Amino acid sequence: MHLVRTGALMGYTALVFRLGHNPILLLKQAGLTAAQLRNPDTYVSAKRVADLLDITAEHCQDPLFGLRLGSSHSAIALGELAYGVSMQPTLRDSLRYANTHLALHAQGAHLEEQVLGDLTRWCFYLDFTNGWGLRQVLQMSIGQLYNHLVNDGSSDRRISIHLQQPEPPHYEKVSGYQNLLVFGSDFDGVQFPTVFSNYQLNQDSDILRDYFQQRIKMLEQLYPNSLPSLLRYLFASALATGDCSLPQVAASLNLHPRVLQKRLSAEGTSYSKVLQQTREDIACQHLRSSNIGITDLALKLGYAEVAIFSRHFKRWTGLSPQQWRRQHTD
């Protein structure tokens, strides 16, 4: 099973309501619930998300629904991946980073760079399909990719959005995408002048803290008066960036490190215990529900060496990651 963060559906409910339809009923048809969308870091079946978008496009009679939804997304829809992408030196580096760590957001999704002389393509692939050929989820994902190019200062009419699906006979154009769409293309993705690849990104050292602060406000509503719950969220978001240090996480909570440690002690736990439990929970979730490799899982959990992760996991569970996966999957 491939999983995706429900952050990928940011703005879905509002858009469906705006089009005059009931998103609750459409979610139910796809086997999803509105409750799953409340926390953008909830993982659900990627195929069900794809089915939802295709069902919605058909119900709303909007063949560009996926692109319309993707065009509304800011970087925060990508969760912690957005931070790593934004901190790369060039546009090419940011897209390569996104491809390397895309499983943080959506498993089974891949990008491929193709340099064709003066033009560069970034093609988007998925390891699964559905009855509609994934038309809407491809639209949404490529729309997000286009937004990244534009938001990083590469806005130019020479950027084009390519879709293998045929052009719909009747459709309402998506604002800002006029004359950029190429239907019936030989790939799904974006194409732009190769020179754009070396553009320097506008890095902002406050992006991670701002991102965490927005997420914390949401989590405080979900988990009032639960510091360990907030901490688990921050760990889950920051592990793959390689910085789960006490000073960094305490700063994200606007607390002095000693104050954070003291408050955790008062709740009967500690910084290291919450970190260990978070790593164990994430590891077990992915070993049970996805086909992620052990090396990729170790990197996702912030380990520089897979041997260290395997040793820790065996100490937590009494089994190696491979043994645990065999015992807990069909």
For residue range 135-164, list pLDDT tens digits in order: 999 999 999 888 877 765 445 568 899 999
Q: What is the mean pLDDT of residues 298-309?
A: 88
Cα(55)–Cα(61) distance, integer angstroms: 10
Neighbour-count burial of 164, counting CB atoms closer than 10 A to its CB (0-12 exposed, 13-18 middle, 19+ buried): middle
Q: What is the mean pLDDT of residues 126-142?
A: 93
Cα(252)–Cα(32) distance, integer angstroms: 32
What are the tens digits of pLDDT across the range 220-245? 665 566 788 778 877 876 776 666 78
Enter the tokens of residue 245.
């240090």
Contact 136, 56 (CB under 8 A): yes
Cα(264)–Cα(227) distance, integer angstroms: 7
Cα(169)–Cα(58) distance, integer angstroms: 14
Confidence (pLDDT) at 200: 82
Q: What is the mean pLDDT of residues 281-289?
A: 86
Cα(45)–Cα(178) distance, integer angstroms: 32
Distances (CA, A) of 292 to 62, 242, 286, 321, 329: 34, 19, 7, 11, 13
Closest CA to 53 of 124, 127, 142, 123: 142
- Res 218 pLDDT > 70: no
- Range name among 60-64, 113-117, 263-267 with the lowest pLDDT average: 263-267
Neighbour-count burial of 172, counting CB atoms closer than 10 A to its CB (0-12 exposed, 13-18 middle, 19+ buried): exposed
Q: What percentage of the chain exceeds 70 in pLDDT? A: 87
Confidence of residue 304 (pLDDT cuts 50, 70, 90): confident
Angle at 96 between CA 176 and CA 104, to 5 degrees: 85
Angle at 159 between CA 154 and CA 163, to 5 degrees: 135
Contact 189, 121 (CB under 8 A): yes
Confidence (pLDDT) at 234: 74
Enter the tokens of residue 209.
């803290």
Contact 5, 40 (CB under 8 A): yes
Q: Give 200-203's long-range contacts (Cβ < 8 A, gap of 24+).
A: 200/89, 200/90, 201/86, 201/87, 201/88, 201/89, 201/90, 201/91, 201/93, 201/94, 201/152, 201/153, 202/152, 202/153, 203/86, 203/87, 203/89
Cα(128)–Cα(46) distance, integer angstroms: 9
Confidence (pLDDT) at 174: 82
Confidence (pLDDT) at 25: 95
* Main-chain dihedrals φ then ψ at residue 33, nearest 5 degrees: -130, 160
Q: Classify strands 181-182 and 160-162 as parallel, antiparallel or unpaired.
A: parallel
Place of tokens 């901490």: 231
Task: List the domains of the chain with CATH numbers.
Answer: 3-198 (3.90.1520.10), 207-328 (1.10.10.60)
Q: What is the mean pLDDT of residues 179-191?
A: 94
Q: Write down the mean pLDDT value for the chain.
A: 85
Strand, coil or helix: 169: coil
Q: What percentage of the chain exceeds 90 in pLDDT? A: 45
Confidence (pLDDT) at 9: 93
Confidence (pLDDT) at 227: 82
